[in-house]
Each structure stands twice: as C-alpha cells, then as structure tokens.
C-alpha cells in the first residue's frame, strides 16, 4: 500500500496533474483546511503536551504576552503593558479594556488569577479537574497571583526568574473563561472558551476539529471564516490530499517530497529553523542505562549525520546537545558525538557488556515535532545492532505513547521537544532538572545530576544574559560527558500550501498562526 501511495504521489508531482488546490474540495469559500500530523490530544491549554493540540488551542485562547511574528521577542498581548519590580519578584500587568471571552465573560484580573492559580494551587476548586503537567515547571516559582484592580494583576514570585515573561507567552499560560470552566468542569477541554481569533465549534475524534471566526476579535479582523484541522497520520496521504485539493495547508512535510514540491508551481513552501530538539530518550534509572559509559556508547553508535542526510533529506541539523545552536545560550565550542562504533563497543565492554544486550525502543507513529520517527528509529535500531545492542521497536499511536511514558517503564524512547523560545531555561530545566521527573514534569529520561540542578537553578535566577550563558555552557558540557539521551537533530519546520493561501508566516515556536491567512 505504501508503494502505491508513492507511485500516485510521484505521478501527481511529476505531471502537475493535481486539480487546482482548494477550488472544489476544501469546502465553502473562506474555509481553511489544515492537515495535522496527528490527532490533538487535549484543548485545555495547561493540559496540552503536544504540538497539534497546541496549534489548535492557541487559536482559541490567548496569553498576557506573546512572541512577535517570526521572533521569540516578547511583546504585549492581552496585557498592554507591564512593570517588573527592582528585586525581580513582582510582575504587574495592565490588561487591555473591553475584551470579552467568546461566551461574553469579561476579561479581567480575576480571570487571569483563576486561569493560572487553578494549575498550581491545590486548594483551588478546579485544581483537581485536570492534569497540569507543566504547572510545577512554569508556576512552581509563583507565590501568589494578586488582583490589584479589575484591569491590573500582579504575579509575586518566590525568587527571581529570568525567563518568566517567556513562560507567560507559552500556551499553558493561556487565559480561559472562568464561566466556561465552572460550567463544564472536567469537560472544559471539549468546550474550550478563550478570547482568541477563533471560537470552538466541534471536535469529531479522528476526523476534524472545527473553529469559526471570532467576529469580535480585539486585535485585528480575521479573514478566514472557518478553520478545519484534520489529523492525517500517514505522510503520503497528507501530501496527496494537499495535491488533490482536499487540504489547503499541511505541516510536517515528508522529507522525501520537499525537493519535488519546491518545483511544483501550484504549491508554496515555507521553511524555518525551529526551537526544537529530537532525541533518543534513555531511562537513566534502569540498568544498564544507569551507567554513563553505556549512554556514551549509544551516542557514539548512532550515525546522526546519516539520519539527517538520508532520512530527513537535510530538513534537520545534527544536534550537539539540547540547546539550539547559534543562540545566545549555546556553547560554540561543543562538538557533536562523532559516529564511532568501535569506540561504542569499547565503552560497552568497559561497562561489562562486551556482548551487548537486548532492549526495547518505544516509537510513536507520528506526533508533534517527531519528523519521521519510525524511519529514524529504524536507522537507530540498525546502528545499535552493529555494536551488539539488539533493539526491539514498539510502535504506538501518539496519544497512547505519551500516556505510556508516564509509567516510567520505558527503556529507550523516541521523542522531541519544542521549547517555544530560544531561552535554554525552557529546554534544559523541564527536560533534565531532577524536579521535573515524569509525571510531575517532562523529564521522561528520569535524569538526575546534582551539579546540573545547581547550575540550572542559578541560571534562572540571574538576569545578566552573559552570566546566564556561562552557566548554561557549563551545563551543556556536563550533559555531553554524562549524556541523558542520544542527541539527534534540530528540525527545520516546513509547511506546504496551496496558492490560494495568502499571508502565512512560520514562527520559530512552531505556533501555526492561521489567523494571519486570507484565501484567494
């Protein structure tokens, strides 16, 4: 079947035989149809852990501050301005006046306090309605959220945090309608209400999520009447639906087809390096992976360059560590682990595994930022077999995969992370600080290093960026010597769209801002 898809696609691309995209099959004029790589999991923003859910939920609910277009510079959003106390402990926000949630509830300081406190305050009446996996990371440092006046709200921190404004730009910090949460309780995720450019209409599991234009949107007129998000897991199927006009826009373009799409006059293509890292996760608490020599051996054994070249067709950059290269927190002196299977064998022998061992690698079929997880994992499996590590791949659906990782039973797992911004605090702390072990946080490798914890704590409490960079450079040197994962690559995000789509811009946070689009 897969070969059949390939032949159909090859024909469509080579002959330019696709119907005019969007003319007949994308529905009524004004309806934008977007193909996602996987099903959204949850539309309650603080419960969202995957990019597909995030891309939808951020159209519905908004944050106090946001990232500027095509940048991770923080700018005003629902808050028109803010001040920070000299000691860095109090952030005071002035809200824009006259904004209403989709259900008519006014946006005010009480709504902000409600939205944030329900996540981290165990005494909040709606704290138990859902799981808030990033609450400890995002808001564990928040002492209180104070209502100063109807349009002024203040966050009081326990200690300074340099990345706090970036935290408030994240989807988990979205402000939602308290009325809707009180009305729907645990079912709020199926009835989300925010102030965003689109209102929620329906969610047909496995088929589509439908949003409609918010006619009262405060920021600017929204030109698209409706947006339909369709999960289509199979890469070839997603691409074929774009070429035949059933979809207007797709993200996660299969690397094998990028070159052909670039030569198709009916299709537009956008590329941008994103704040992303793809890694082979290792359970650091399980034998034999609790020995750093074994983890080092896996890093030497995997041919990252070949994965980027042959599987990803250049749509990624080899990773030297968790921090995005060429950003202020990266260590330019850091080198990626070279492909060296003989050194891997030597390390395995020193660790007491001269004949290798058997293990299991959990792999999602697709998912947020997962690029080509099965193909990439197959190469990893082959590389590890060559040094004596016999890997059994266990492939599973994205939602089931994420749920299973909370069990802590994993040995090896394929996963990625979108930081949303280039600040290393948004990558290294949640993924590798010992306070963030799953299920409290996203440290699914169950990694613990006391010196790293100390450095990360210091780096988030100082405001001088050059001092922060020094601390993160030392942290990265620790992580290369004592690797928690096999570092693979950083994704170059790619979107393909029909020519009737106008005004699309990609964002380094991987947010898909379809509200900027108009349809020709």
pLDDT for the residue numbered 248: 97
State what percent of residues in the chain have pLDDT above 70. Answer: 94
Give residue-wise pLDDT tens across range 423-476: 899 899 999 999 999 988 899 999 999 999 999 999 988 888 899 999 999 999
What is the reported pLDDT for 503? Answer: 93
What pLDDT shows up at residue 251?
86
How would you write 225-285 as a 3-class SS string?
Answer: CEEEEEECCCHHHHHHHHHCCCCCEEECCCHHHHHHHHCCCCEEEEEEECCEEEEEEECCC
Q: Is the pLDDT of residue 422 over 90?
A: no
Check whether 228 has a pLDDT greater than 90: yes
Contact 258, 313 (CB under 8 A): yes
Rounded-to-integer distance, Cα 491 and Cα 104, Å = 40
Asked if 161 and 461 touch (Cβ cutoff 8 Å), the reply is: yes
Closest CA to 154 of 91, 89, 110, 96: 91
Residues 134-150, mean pLDDT to the nearest whole number: 92
Q: Is the pTM of this model over 0.85?
A: no
22-60 confidence digits (pLDDT tens): 343 444 459 999 999 889 999 999 999 888 999 999 999
Q: What is the pLDDT of residues 274-292, one digit of tens each?
A: 789 999 999 999 999 999 9
Q: Which two tokens stand for residue 445?
A: 């490798």
Sheet strands (E) in 37-181? 65-67, 74-76, 79-84, 90-95, 142-149, 152-157
């Amino acid at each position: 079947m897969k070969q059949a898809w390939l032949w159909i696609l090859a024909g469509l691309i080579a002959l330019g035989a696709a119907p005019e995209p969007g003319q007949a099959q994308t529905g009524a004029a004004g309806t934008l149809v977007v193909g996602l790589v996987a099903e959204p999991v949850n539309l309650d923003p603080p419960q969202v852990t995957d990019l597909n859910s995030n891309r939808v939920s951020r159209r519905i609910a908004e944050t106090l501050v946001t990232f500027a277009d095509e940048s991770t510079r923080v700018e005003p959003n629902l808050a028109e301005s803010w001040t920070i106390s000299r000691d860095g402990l109090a952030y005071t926000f002035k809200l824009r006046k006259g904004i209403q949630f989709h259900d008519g509830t006014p946006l005010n300081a009480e709504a902000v306090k409600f939205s944030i406190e329900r996540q981290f305050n165990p005494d909040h009446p709606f704290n138990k309605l859902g799981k808030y996996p990033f609450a400890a990371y995002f808001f564990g440092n928040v002492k209180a959220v104070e209502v100063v006046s109807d349009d002024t709200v203040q966050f009081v921190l326990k200690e300074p945090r340099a990345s706090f404004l970036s935290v408030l730009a994240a989807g988990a910090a979205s402000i939602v309608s308290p009325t809707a949460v009180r009305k729907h309780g645990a079912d709020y995720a199926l009835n989300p209400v925010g102030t965003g450019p689109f209102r929620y209409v329906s969610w047909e599991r496995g088929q589509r999520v439908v949003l409609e234009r918010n006619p009262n949107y405060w920021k600017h007129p929204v030109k698209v009447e409706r947006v339909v998000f369709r999960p289509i897991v199979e890469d070839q199927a997603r691409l074929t639906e774009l070429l035949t006009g059933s979809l207007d826009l797709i993200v996660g373009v299969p690397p094998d087809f990028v070159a052909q799409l670039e030569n198709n006059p009916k299709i537009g293509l956008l590329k941008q390096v994103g704040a992303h890292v793809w890694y082979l996760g290792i359970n650091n608490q399980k034998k034999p992976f609790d020995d750093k020599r074994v983890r080092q051996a896996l890093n030497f054994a995997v041919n990252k360059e070949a994965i980027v070249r042959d599987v990803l067709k250049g749509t990624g950059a080899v990773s030297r560590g968790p921090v995005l290269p060429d950003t202020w927190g990266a260590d330019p002196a850091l080198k990626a682990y070279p492909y060296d299977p003989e050194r891997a064998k030597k390390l395995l022998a020193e660790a007491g595994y001269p004949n290798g061992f058997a293990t299991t690698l959990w792999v999602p079929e697709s998912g947020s930022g997962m690029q080509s997880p099965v193909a990439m994992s197959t190469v990893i499996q082959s590389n590890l077999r060559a040094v004596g590590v016999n890997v059994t791949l266990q492939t599973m659906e994205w939602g089931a995969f994420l749920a299973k990782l909370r069990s802590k039973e994993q040995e090896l797992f394929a996963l990625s992370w979108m930081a949303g911004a280039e600040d290393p605090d948004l990558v290294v702390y949640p993924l590798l600080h010992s306070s963030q072990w799953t299920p409290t946080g996203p440290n699914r490798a169950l990694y613990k290093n006391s010196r790293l914890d100390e450095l990360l704590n210091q780096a988030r409490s100082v405001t001088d960026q050059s001092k922060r960079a020094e601390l993160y450079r030392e942290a990265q040197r620790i992580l290369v010597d004592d690797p928690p994962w096999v570092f693979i690559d950083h994704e170059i995000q790619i979107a393909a769209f029909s020519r009737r789509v106008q005004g699309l811009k990609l964002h380094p946070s991987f947010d898909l801002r379809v509200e900027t689009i108009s349809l020709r």
